Amino acid sequence: MEQKIAVAVDDLTVAYNYKPVLWDIDLSIPEGVLMAIVGPNGAGKSTLIKSILGIIDPIAGSVAIYGKPYKKQRDKVAYVPQKGSVDWDFPTTALDVVMMGTYGALGWIKRPGAKQKKQALEALEKVGMLAFKGRQISQLSGGQQQRIFLARALVQNAAIYFMDEPFQGVDATTEIAIINILKELRKAGKTVIVVHHDLQTVPEYFDWVTFLNVKHIATGPVKDIFNDDNLTKTYGINYKVAVQK
């Protein structure tokens, strides 16, 4: 079966202060997969997502979204940053944060209107947060904040979703709710790429996986490549402790 390539990363190298955090990454992600990016702390998982989205400029290499540069394909991509990357004391409400997902389609200067509000309310309902639409965001729990971020990505109605640790600091109920939504997205033919920490849940949640540790180690279907060999290459010798806990 010939599958379309949703994301292609070519010879990507990223450095902070001249120290490479990603080294010559080649990666292609087929359309319609639900993929985890795993690797130890400092492996460059978030950096990989950020450089695909043009948030960080690489020192070498290129990225293509459906064969074109990201800048021409912004409307096809949604992004959920790490929860900790924003100030939750910011004076705004849950609904307003979700509305931010519509800004990309609006472009510069144009303001969101009734249509955008309706989209945002629908997304809030999908993540089970409609009742909290007017609540100030600091008054939400960690799991609720993560759902708000997910709703904001859903509003973007993209083809590819990048999520940076969406399960961080959420309780088990929220985790299940989130993964169910991600699985629905995949069913709808979307490509979902998730930075993930919990190795145990990889086979249960995802159908594809990328192993990353500064260098690209392997990418493929979980059933083919999620094995001792790749885990050892990525994490060193202690991976079994993490997996069998």
Which spans of this chain sit near other proteins (rule: CB under 8 A)? Answer: 17, 50, 53-55, 71, 74, 77, 79, 81, 85-87, 90-93, 97, 100, 103-104, 106-109, 111-112, 131, 136, 138-141, 143-144, 152, 171, 173
Q: Shortest Cβ distance from residue 103 to other proteins (Å)?
A: 6
| Cβ-based nearer residue to other proteins, 95 or 209 | 95
For the chain, give the number of residues.
245
Sheet of strand 19-30: strand arrangement: 19-30, 5-16, 60-65
| Cβ-based nearer residue to other proteins, 106 or 218 | 106
The encoded tokens of residue 201 equal 């849940």
> What is the widest separation between alpha-carbon atoms in the chain?
55
Give the up-direction half-sphere exposure of residue 178: CA atoms within 13 A in the CB hemisphere.
28
Which candidate, 30, 31, 79, 90, places its Cα nearest to that of 56? 79
- The rounded distance, in Å, linking the Cα atoms of 22 and 181 is 30
Q: Shortest Cβ distance from residue 81 to other proteins (Å)?
A: 4
| Cβ-based nearer residue to other proteins, 66 or 103 | 103
Q: Shortest Cβ distance from residue 226 to other proteins (Å)?
A: 29
The H or E element that residue 50 is part of is: helix 45-52
| Cβ-based nearer residue to other proteins, 102 or 210 | 102
Q: Shortest Cβ distance from residue 229 to other proteins (Å)?
A: 34
